[in-house]
Amino acid sequence: MHPPCSLLLLLLLPLPCLLTSSPAARQGSAGGGDDTCVFALTYNPLDARRSVDAIRASLDALTQEVRVLASRLDATVAPRCGGCGDGKDDCSASDGYERVAANYCLRGFTSARNWTEASEICRSIGGQLLSIDSAEKLAAVAHYGRTRLEIDCRHEVPYWISTRRQEARWRDGNTGRQQAFADWDEGEPKNESDEACVELWSESSWKMLAVPCSYNAHFICEKV
Protein backbone atom coordinates (compact mmCIF):
# COMPACT_ATOMS: atom_id res chain seq x y z
CA MET A 1 0.00 0.00 0.00
CA HIS A 2 1.39 3.42 -0.96
CA PRO A 3 1.81 6.08 1.75
CA PRO A 4 -0.42 9.17 1.63
CA CYS A 5 0.77 12.00 -0.57
CA SER A 6 1.65 14.14 2.42
CA LEU A 7 2.98 12.69 5.63
CA LEU A 8 3.52 14.82 8.71
CA LEU A 9 6.47 13.71 10.76
CA LEU A 10 6.57 15.02 14.27
CA LEU A 11 9.98 14.95 15.85
CA LEU A 12 10.35 15.94 19.46
CA LEU A 13 13.66 17.72 19.74
CA PRO A 14 15.16 19.35 22.86
CA LEU A 15 15.77 22.58 20.96
CA PRO A 16 14.52 26.15 21.49
CA CYS A 17 11.28 26.91 19.71
CA LEU A 18 12.99 29.54 17.59
CA LEU A 19 14.79 26.76 15.68
CA THR A 20 11.60 25.05 14.52
CA SER A 21 10.12 25.68 11.09
CA SER A 22 6.47 25.55 12.19
CA PRO A 23 4.85 28.68 13.77
CA ALA A 24 2.15 26.46 15.24
CA ALA A 25 4.75 24.33 16.90
CA ARG A 26 6.35 27.45 18.43
CA GLN A 27 3.01 28.67 19.78
CA GLY A 28 2.19 25.27 21.26
CA SER A 29 5.51 25.11 22.99
CA ALA A 30 5.26 28.62 24.31
CA GLY A 31 1.77 27.99 25.65
CA GLY A 32 2.83 24.80 27.40
CA GLY A 33 5.60 26.53 29.20
CA ASP A 34 8.37 24.02 28.46
CA ASP A 35 11.46 24.23 26.27
CA THR A 36 10.62 21.20 24.14
CA CYS A 37 9.67 22.05 20.57
CA VAL A 38 7.78 20.20 17.90
CA PHE A 39 9.58 20.17 14.54
CA ALA A 40 7.19 19.72 11.60
CA LEU A 41 8.52 18.25 8.36
CA THR A 42 6.39 17.66 5.27
CA TYR A 43 7.50 14.67 3.17
CA ASN A 44 6.22 14.16 -0.39
CA PRO A 45 7.16 10.72 -1.78
CA LEU A 46 6.50 11.82 -5.38
CA ASP A 47 9.06 14.64 -5.12
CA ALA A 48 11.51 12.26 -3.47
CA ARG A 49 11.17 9.72 -6.29
CA ARG A 50 11.72 12.44 -8.88
CA SER A 51 14.89 13.49 -7.08
CA VAL A 52 16.17 9.91 -6.96
CA ASP A 53 15.42 9.43 -10.66
CA ALA A 54 17.27 12.64 -11.49
CA ILE A 55 20.30 11.53 -9.47
CA ARG A 56 20.31 8.14 -11.20
CA ALA A 57 20.14 9.79 -14.63
CA SER A 58 23.07 12.05 -13.72
CA LEU A 59 25.11 9.08 -12.50
CA ASP A 60 24.35 7.13 -15.69
CA ALA A 61 25.46 10.07 -17.83
CA LEU A 62 28.64 10.50 -15.77
CA THR A 63 29.44 6.77 -16.03
CA GLN A 64 29.06 6.90 -19.80
CA GLU A 65 31.32 9.95 -20.00
CA VAL A 66 33.99 8.21 -17.91
CA ARG A 67 33.85 5.19 -20.24
CA VAL A 68 34.31 7.42 -23.28
CA LEU A 69 37.27 9.22 -21.71
CA ALA A 70 38.84 5.91 -20.70
CA SER A 71 38.54 4.55 -24.23
CA ARG A 72 40.12 7.71 -25.62
CA LEU A 73 42.97 7.40 -23.14
CA ASP A 74 43.56 3.77 -24.13
CA ALA A 75 43.68 4.79 -27.75
CA THR A 76 46.19 7.65 -27.31
CA VAL A 77 48.53 6.45 -24.59
CA ALA A 78 50.79 3.43 -25.07
CA PRO A 79 51.57 2.03 -21.59
CA ARG A 80 54.97 0.71 -20.65
CA CYS A 81 55.42 -2.95 -21.39
CA GLY A 82 54.96 -5.46 -18.64
CA GLY A 83 55.86 -8.48 -20.74
CA CYS A 84 55.88 -9.09 -24.48
CA GLY A 85 57.25 -11.54 -27.00
CA ASP A 86 57.15 -15.09 -25.63
CA GLY A 87 55.50 -14.02 -22.38
CA LYS A 88 58.65 -13.15 -20.46
CA ASP A 89 58.99 -9.80 -18.78
CA ASP A 90 61.46 -8.64 -21.42
CA CYS A 91 59.98 -5.27 -22.31
CA SER A 92 60.45 -2.92 -19.38
CA ALA A 93 60.48 0.82 -18.92
CA SER A 94 64.18 0.74 -18.03
CA ASP A 95 65.24 0.03 -21.63
CA GLY A 96 62.72 2.42 -23.17
CA TYR A 97 60.48 -0.07 -24.97
CA GLU A 98 56.71 0.33 -24.87
CA ARG A 99 53.83 -2.07 -25.37
CA VAL A 100 51.86 -1.28 -28.52
CA ALA A 101 48.51 -2.93 -29.36
CA ALA A 102 49.22 -5.66 -26.76
CA ASN A 103 51.45 -7.61 -29.16
CA TYR A 104 54.48 -5.44 -29.93
CA CYS A 105 57.31 -3.91 -27.94
CA LEU A 106 58.63 -0.81 -29.70
CA ARG A 107 61.08 1.98 -29.08
CA GLY A 108 61.23 4.95 -31.41
CA PHE A 109 64.28 7.12 -32.00
CA THR A 110 64.01 10.69 -33.27
CA SER A 111 67.74 10.99 -33.94
CA ALA A 112 68.58 10.49 -37.61
CA ARG A 113 70.88 7.62 -38.68
CA ASN A 114 71.52 5.71 -41.86
CA TRP A 115 70.01 2.23 -42.22
CA THR A 116 73.09 0.31 -41.03
CA GLU A 117 73.64 2.54 -38.00
CA ALA A 118 69.97 2.30 -37.04
CA SER A 119 70.06 -1.50 -37.25
CA GLU A 120 73.20 -1.65 -35.07
CA ILE A 121 71.65 0.63 -32.42
CA CYS A 122 68.58 -1.60 -32.21
CA ARG A 123 70.74 -4.68 -31.71
CA SER A 124 72.78 -2.92 -29.04
CA ILE A 125 69.65 -2.44 -26.91
CA GLY A 126 68.43 -6.00 -27.24
CA GLY A 127 66.12 -5.58 -30.22
CA GLN A 128 66.13 -5.31 -33.98
CA LEU A 129 65.07 -2.80 -36.59
CA LEU A 130 61.30 -2.84 -36.98
CA SER A 131 59.92 -5.38 -39.42
CA ILE A 132 56.49 -5.04 -41.01
CA ASP A 133 54.86 -8.36 -41.85
CA SER A 134 51.13 -7.61 -41.75
CA ALA A 135 48.56 -4.85 -42.22
CA GLU A 136 47.60 -5.20 -38.56
CA LYS A 137 51.13 -4.52 -37.39
CA LEU A 138 51.53 -1.59 -39.78
CA ALA A 139 48.34 -0.03 -38.39
CA ALA A 140 49.61 -0.46 -34.81
CA VAL A 141 52.97 1.09 -35.71
CA ALA A 142 51.30 4.01 -37.49
CA HIS A 143 49.17 4.68 -34.42
CA TYR A 144 52.25 4.48 -32.19
CA GLY A 145 54.09 6.91 -34.45
CA ARG A 146 51.25 9.43 -34.57
CA THR A 147 50.54 9.38 -30.84
CA ARG A 148 54.00 8.86 -29.34
CA LEU A 149 56.71 9.91 -31.77
CA GLU A 150 55.36 12.82 -33.80
CA ILE A 151 54.37 14.54 -30.54
CA ASP A 152 58.07 14.70 -29.68
CA CYS A 153 59.57 15.65 -33.03
CA ARG A 154 56.74 18.07 -33.91
CA HIS A 155 56.79 17.25 -37.61
CA GLU A 156 56.31 14.37 -40.00
CA VAL A 157 59.43 12.34 -40.72
CA PRO A 158 60.53 9.02 -42.24
CA TYR A 159 61.32 5.97 -40.09
CA TRP A 160 63.57 3.12 -41.13
CA ILE A 161 62.21 -0.42 -41.15
CA SER A 162 64.11 -3.64 -41.70
CA THR A 163 63.01 -4.20 -45.31
CA ARG A 164 65.79 -3.90 -47.89
CA ARG A 165 66.58 -5.21 -51.35
CA GLN A 166 68.93 -8.16 -51.49
CA GLU A 167 69.60 -10.29 -54.58
CA ALA A 168 66.96 -8.36 -56.54
CA ARG A 169 64.26 -9.19 -54.00
CA TRP A 170 62.78 -7.24 -51.10
CA ARG A 171 63.66 -9.07 -47.91
CA ASP A 172 63.50 -8.65 -44.16
CA GLY A 173 66.96 -7.35 -43.32
CA ASN A 174 66.83 -9.02 -39.91
CA THR A 175 66.19 -12.56 -41.15
CA GLY A 176 67.01 -12.50 -44.87
CA ARG A 177 63.57 -13.92 -45.66
CA GLN A 178 61.57 -12.59 -48.55
CA GLN A 179 59.24 -9.77 -47.56
CA ALA A 180 55.80 -11.29 -46.94
CA PHE A 181 53.86 -8.02 -46.74
CA ALA A 182 54.26 -4.58 -48.29
CA ASP A 183 52.17 -1.44 -48.44
CA TRP A 184 54.01 0.76 -50.90
CA ASP A 185 53.23 4.40 -51.51
CA GLU A 186 51.94 5.30 -54.96
CA GLY A 187 54.65 4.82 -57.59
CA GLU A 188 56.84 2.78 -55.23
CA PRO A 189 59.18 1.01 -55.44
CA LYS A 190 60.88 2.69 -58.39
CA ASN A 191 63.52 -0.05 -58.47
CA GLU A 192 66.33 2.46 -58.78
CA SER A 193 69.65 0.72 -58.27
CA ASP A 194 70.63 2.86 -55.29
CA GLU A 195 67.24 2.69 -53.53
CA ALA A 196 67.78 -0.52 -51.57
CA CYS A 197 66.31 0.32 -48.15
CA VAL A 198 62.79 1.18 -47.01
CA GLU A 199 61.27 3.88 -44.87
CA LEU A 200 57.81 4.41 -43.46
CA TRP A 201 56.97 7.99 -44.30
CA SER A 202 54.49 9.51 -41.87
CA GLU A 203 53.58 12.26 -44.35
CA SER A 204 52.38 9.56 -46.77
CA SER A 205 50.02 7.89 -44.29
CA TRP A 206 52.79 5.54 -43.16
CA LYS A 207 53.31 3.98 -46.57
CA MET A 208 56.57 2.31 -47.61
CA LEU A 209 59.11 4.18 -49.73
CA ALA A 210 62.37 2.83 -51.20
CA VAL A 211 65.36 5.14 -50.66
CA PRO A 212 69.16 4.89 -50.57
CA CYS A 213 70.43 3.16 -47.42
CA SER A 214 72.86 6.05 -46.89
CA TYR A 215 70.02 8.47 -46.16
CA ASN A 216 69.55 9.57 -42.56
CA ALA A 217 66.16 8.91 -40.98
CA HIS A 218 64.53 8.30 -37.65
CA PHE A 219 63.94 4.65 -36.78
CA ILE A 220 61.95 2.23 -34.65
CA CYS A 221 63.36 -0.78 -32.81
CA GLU A 222 61.35 -3.76 -31.64
CA LYS A 223 61.83 -6.65 -29.26
CA VAL A 224 60.74 -10.05 -30.48
Count of structural domains within the chain: 2
Query: What type of residue is 90?
Result: D
Residue range 42-57, pLDDT digits in tens: 667 778 888 888 898 8
36, 71, 106 - which closes a domain: 71
CA distance 219 to 198: 11
- Whether the CA torsion 111, 115, 119, 124 is positive or negative: it is negative
Query: Could you tell me the residue range of the domain that residue 37 belongs to?
Result: 7-71
Q: Are 111 and 208 in the same domain?
A: yes
Query: For residue 101, what is the domain's CATH number?
Result: 3.10.100.10
Query: Residue 89 burial by CB count (10 A; 0-12/13-18/19+): exposed, middle or buried?
Result: exposed
Domain annotation covers residue 24: yes
- Specify whether the CB–CB gap between 107 and 220 falls below 8 A: yes
Q: Which of 166, 145, 154 is nearest to 210 (CA)?
A: 166
Each residue's pLDDT tens digit, 128-187: 999 999 999 999 999 998 888 865 445 668 999 999 999 899 999 999 999 989 999 999
